[in-house]
Amino acid sequence: MDQIKPSVSVVMPVYNVERYVEQSIKSVLNQTFKDFELIIVDDASTDRSAEICQSVADTDSRINIIHHEKNGGLSAARNTGMLYARGKYIFFPDSDDLLVDNALDKYFSAAESSGADIVHCTRHMERLETVPGEFDERVRLKNDRGIREGMMTANRNARLYDYYVKFGVWVMVWRNFYRREFLERNHLTFPSIISEDEVFLIGSLCLADKFYCLADPLYIYTRRRDSITNCINEDKVRKGICSIVQGCRWLNRLVSRLPNGMLELQVKNFCVQEFIRRMTNNYVLRYCDSYAKLMSEKSDRIMLEALRPSFIEDTDIVVQLFQRMAFAQLESLKLARSVQQNKISSKVESPKH
């Protein structure tokens, strides 16, 4: 591969997407902007995905394929890609989606002219898979409510509240174009949880000095019939619950790194509460219809198993989570409240030295 560093590193995680990956790769290779490298991270696919990627890579020297020996998930694949990235900017498309032909050109131009750490696209298109490998001809346009093109305020408190809490914008990582130096300087990597995009973006918003918004729809999201977010099962609920606690812990650690006074406590709490709300809605409550039969004794067992390690260190988060889910009758919530009360009592009653 040419040793001259490319302007953009496109990092694409791949796992069992043989129906979609070739079209996705070609949508990157067909960009009007040519100065990029495409880093494909095969996350131990068990179908023909790796073979298809290699076949396309043989025709274009800009492609670099990294293979994981074991499946590590989306976060691990993206983090691996970041280690190999050489570009000034990094972009993270999914391997079943498509880029509009001028997407990288638009992102790069906006980043260069604005000097932004992050360029965010306020619109994307969505195509719906009707049967495996076939799509509805109609493409839907998705917009961020209330966000206009231009540089967002440098005030982190106002930016976080407007962007994440007030307007509730889409937080998918593939809507954002990152300055690599910004990610490396702040040691930003993806946590190994469900919906890692949520906390990664909040962290980015906290740390970025400049955040620019584009109004052009540059990305075509594929709503698959069998996608990760459409799979409904007990394990998904358990992982969703654990991810809420782990994500809140990740956010708390990141916020603690900010200089005193940079982020108001109220705004930080708003962000944590909004993260819990989104995660419970998207990854727990949305499964309630199919999960309803498990909501008695079995649900208590699942919740207790998932959350027991978090009762002491993350009691407040656990209480917020169950209040949000309105499962006040669950023994796990009673236990969490009990632990919380004991912690408060012990602080009050502890003798002074």
Q: Where are the domains of the chain?
A: 8-228, 231-349
Average pLDDT over residues 54-77: 96
Predicted pLDDT at 240: 74
pLDDT digits (tens, 9 = 90+) for 134-192: 777 777 887 776 677 888 888 888 887 777 766 666 678 999 999 999 999 999 999 98
Kindly tell me if the per-residue pLDDT of 79 is higher than 80.
yes
**Superfamily in which the 8-228 domain is placed by CATH:** Spore Coat Polysaccharide Biosynthesis Protein SpsA; Chain A (3.90.550.10)
Share of the chain above pLDDT 90, in %: 39
Predicted pLDDT at 205: 84
Kindly tell me if the per-residue pLDDT of 259 is higher than 50.
yes
Task: Give 210's contacts (C-beta < 8 A, 6+ positions apart).
Answer: 114, 115, 116, 117, 118, 151, 154
Pick 72 or 299 by higher pLDDT: 72
Predicted pLDDT at 194: 81
The residue among 108, 133, 130, 135 whose CA lies nearest residue 119 is 108
Kindly tell me if the per-residue pLDDT of 303 is higher than 60.
no
Average pLDDT over residues 58-84: 96
Residue-wise DSSP of 14-81: ESS-TTTHHHHHHHHHT-S---EEEEEEE---SSSHHHHHHHHHTT-TTEEEEE-SS---HHHHHHHH
pLDDT digits (tens, 9 = 90+) for 233-248: 667 767 777 787 788 8
Pick 207 or 32 by higher pLDDT: 32
